[in-house]
Structure 1
Amino acid sequence: MSELSEHLRYTKDHEWARRNDDGTITVGITAHAVDQLGDITAVSLPEVGEALEAGERFGDIDSVKAVSDLYAPITGEVVEINAKLDDEPELINDAPYEGGWMIRIRPGDGVDLGDLLDAAAYQQVLDDL
Structure 2
Amino acid sequence: MNPPDLRYHEEHEWIRVAGKQATLGISHFAQDALGDIVFIDLPKVGLQVKAGQQIGEVESTKTTSTIYTPVSGTVTSVNPELKDHPEVVNSDPYGKGWMVVIDLSQPAEVETLMTAAQYDTFLASQKKG
Same fold judged by TM-score > 0.5? yes
- RMSD between superposed Cα atoms in Å: 1.0
Partner SS for 1:41: strand
> 1:112: Cα distance to partner?
3.5
The aligned counterpart of 1:4 is 2
Q: Kindly tell me: are residues 110 and 92 of structure 1, through their superposed partners in 2, closer, same or farther at Cα, counting changes over 3 Å?
A: closer
1:23 counterpart (20, 23, 40): 20
The structural deviation recorded for 1:125 is 1.1
CA contact (8 A) 2:20 2:107 kept: no
1:119 and 2:116 correspond? yes
TM-score, reference length from structure 1:
0.94
Partner secondary structure for residue 93 of structure 1: helix
Q: Unpaired runs of 5+ in structure 1?
A: none
Gapped regions of structure 2 (runs ≥ 5): none
Identity %: 37
Q: Aligned match of 1:38 in 35, 39, 46?
A: 35
TM-score by length of 2: 0.94
Q: Equivalents in 2 of 1:109, 1:57: separation in Å?
A: 18
Judging by fraction of residues, say which structure has more helix.
Answer: 2
Instruction: Output aligned runs, 1:1-129, within 5 Å.
Output: 3-20=1-18, 22-129=19-126
After superposing on structure 2, the runs of 4+ consecutive aligned residues of structure 1 that deviate more than 4 Å are none
Q: Given that residues 75 and 111 in structure 1 are in contact (C-alpha distance below 8 angstroms), is that contact kept between their aligned partners in structure 2?
A: no
Shift of residue 114 of structure 1?
A: 1.3
Q: 2:108 is paired with a residue of what secondary structure?
A: coil
One-letter code aligned to 2:36 = D
